Chain A
Amino acid sequence: MTNHSGPDTDLLALVEDYFSKTFSADVIADAEQHGLSPQLWASTEELGLTLIGINEQHGGSGGSLLDLLAVAEGTGRHAVPLPVAETGLASWLFACADVEVPTGPLAVVPDASGLSLTGNRLSGRATHIPWARGARRVVALLNGRVVSIDPARLHITAGSDLAGMPRDTVNGADVEVDVYESGVDADDMLLRGALLRAAQIAGAISAAFELTNRYVKQRVQFGKPIGTFQSVQAHVVELAEVSALTTLCVERAGAAALRGPASLEIAATKSVANRNARLASRAAHQAHGAIGMTREYPLQLLTRRLHTWRGDFGDETALNLRLGVAAAGGIAAAVTSVGSTLGV
């Protein structure tokens, strides 16, 4: 099997159609003001888009990891102001623990080192949690155990990421929680999160490329569309390149993860996606000029998310250091490896 069967085409069509019609710039701006919209969540959940990649026995919608990545890519393309990727990660933790996934939006604690668990009681502090506000459950992984927390029992301090989406701090003292054993460790979770974020980055880069390509054909200066100037075209070309490369990497890493351990593929993919997010943001803004710097124009919906996501689940430095330690001894073996993780 060399050509991986991609995501379900009906699902792709649904994602594109529903996300593009639902998440207008106004809707996204509204979420930035008021947080998670229960109505938008409910309609997205009703379509089955929030639990893709989770099988029916755990309460999911079925589908493969590649389907889940296609949905995540869609959330990036359309700057979807809902915790779809976060819920995808949390529901995977529940499924790994072999328990039914709760309905509703879910949040995941990215770094649980400030939390401690005694029996089924949790104490401590965790920071930078995407979408803790509005989540039905906040989920943390502590020593291989999936801990499901009712946010009503936590003290939540609101914060926000660069895109204006919730990114909160929680405090709890002796909070009763549900605890499930799982075979998952913190690194498994990090890699799963990195792959989802890489898919979102791929989606946002592709949208930034298309937006920029449209803009340079329409915007007239010196009597002609600015896209006729080679120096401007260079920015569009760079966007096309990083878009194609990022999307391809995400698909390869997803296919590798379906086959088995894929830490090398995922770390490389997220590293490349992070770098490309940076390059794409710069090129798209440069090609747009001043209009792209405003809140009125939709480019910022994408570039603010690109900056946010490239820092999640491994930034360039962390991932490159990890890859570099693993590649000591030889690069070619790592590059041409198939189904081997080389201890990354």
Chain B
Amino acid sequence: MRLRATDLSADEVGLRDEVRAFLAARLPAGSYPIGLGFAAEVDAAFSRDLGSRGWLGMALPKEYGGGGRSAVERLIVVEELLAVGAPVGWHWVADRQSGPNIAANGTVEQKQHFLPRIAGGELSFAIGMSEPEAGSDLASVRTGAVKVGDSWLINGTKIWTSGAAEATHLLGLFRTSEDRYRGLTQFIVDRSTEGLTVSPIPFIDGTRHFCEVSFTDVVVPDSMRLGEVGAGWGQNTAELVLERGGVDRWMSLMPVLQHWAAHPHGRVDAWEQTDLGSVAARCWAFHGLSLSIARAVDRGESPTVEAALAKEMATRFEQECIDIVCRHYGRTPELTSSDPYESLLARALLTGPSWTIRGGTTEILRNIISKALIRP
């Protein structure tokens, strides 16, 4: 495992400053509901604004309407968005993983259809991976796709699908034969297809972004199959790498941390300052880690293990940050508070456990890392 130290170039700093200035104007304080990282509010108009500036689908190929830019440039934009808790919910999944997956594995027609619309912020994707009986053991998914003529007939249930209620499309992993790994295939399913039912699952903080998606004789044309029949497991694994190494894995609490740094609670000053310093030092370190992973991606490498390692460490750090801020607060923060930062801290307290679960649990990540370490 070897990550190379790197920092931003002058052009990259320029991009960062441009995004920062745009956000200050587009999202003045109090004008939008602040979110916790990528579990953010859905605001299609905001996403389209980002798209019109070329800040969605940045690393997608230019010939399909993408930005043709680097993974590092995308990281810079995302880092600025998450720092202010911007409403990134509409485009998040499409920008982070569905777009790159379609760019890597899609047909020319699929790329021509989807990629410009993802880069423009017109489409919203949700992920169809987990099922009631297939969580961490993802290869045991059972929701089946059966070939009937030129189409596939899908039956079964996907669960824990964030944002499915608002999404325009689902990109999911379905069983096309009994072979454990080679029997899996990815499909893009239009959310409005007949037989597809989305039922919100009320989340621990009372929100309703978390969904169950049931498929009853849902007909999907073969043209919406992503990649070869049986290639789904590999594509899905590559997609998870995109999910794991990014700044979104240590920035969930950043708006709260920013506010806390500017408005300390002042119970025991030196203790609070020391805690703030500890958080700042580690944010600096994780920023560098994410940046090095993005540079490796730009060099054409596939840093699977490094991404797992980053997520395992960083998400535990995010959770620790909740404890740190709370212990200076003086009382348990309330979700119903009129102070948006108190409410956000309360939301973090309730939803924080999900940070080490979503995108691969800590335990699964440790297995991935230790397999790579044990391999001689």
Contacts and interface: CB of A to CB of B under 8 A. Distances in A.
Interface of A: 1-4, 6, 213, 217, 227, 230, 233-234, 236-237, 240-241, 244-245, 247-249, 251-252, 254-256, 264-265, 267-269, 271-272, 275, 316-317, 319-332, 334-336, 338
Given A213-B374, A241-B313, A251-B4, 9 more contacts: A237-B370, A244-B1, A255-B7, A256-B7, A269-B285, A272-B284, A327-B261, A328-B262, A334-B283
Interface stretch (B165-173, B220-228, B267-275): B267-275
A6 B4 contact: yes
Ranked nearest first, the 5 interchain pairs of A and B with the lowest CB-CB distance are: A324-B277, A323-B277, A320-B277, A251-B5, A324-B273
B348 interface: no
Interface residues of chain A: helix, strand, loop or mixed (majority): helix
B292 interface: yes
Contact of B277 (A254, A269, A271): A271
B287 to A, nearest CB: 5
Contacts of B1: 240, 244
Contact of B373 (A236, A249, A316, A325): A236
A327 B280 contact: yes
B148 interface: no
Given A6-B4, A268-B284, A331-B257, A230 B367 contact: yes
25 contacts: A4-B6, A4-B7, A230-B363, A230-B367, A230-B370, A234-B366, A236-B370, A240-B373, A244-B1, A244-B289, A248-B3, A248-B285, A249-B288, A268-B280, A268-B281, A272-B284, A316-B278, A323-B276, A325-B273, A326-B280, A327-B279, A328-B276, A334-B280, A334-B284, A338-B13
Which of B8, B258, B261, B285 is packed against the most chain A CB atoms within 10 Å?
A: B285
Interface of B: 1, 3-9, 12-13, 16, 79, 83, 254, 257-258, 261-262, 264, 270, 272-285, 287-289, 292, 295, 306, 309, 312-313, 363, 366-367, 369-370, 373-374
B277 A244 contact: no
A331 to B, nearest CB: 5
A332 B363 CA distance: 29
Contacts of A324: 272-278, 280
A117 B147 CA distance: 89
A244 B2 CA distance: 7
Given A4-B5, A237-B370, A251-B5, A327 B277 contact: yes
A2 B16 contact: no
A328 B4 contact: no
B363 A244 contact: no
B280 A335 contact: yes
Contacts of A317: 274
A204 B367 CA distance: 25
A337 to B, nearest CB: 8
Nearest to A234: B366
A322 to B, nearest CB: 7
A268 B363 CA distance: 28
Contacts of B262: 328-330
Contact of A320 (B281, B292, B366): B281
A6 B8 CA distance: 16
A245 B284 contact: no
Contacts of B274: 317, 320-321, 324
Contacts of A213: 373-374
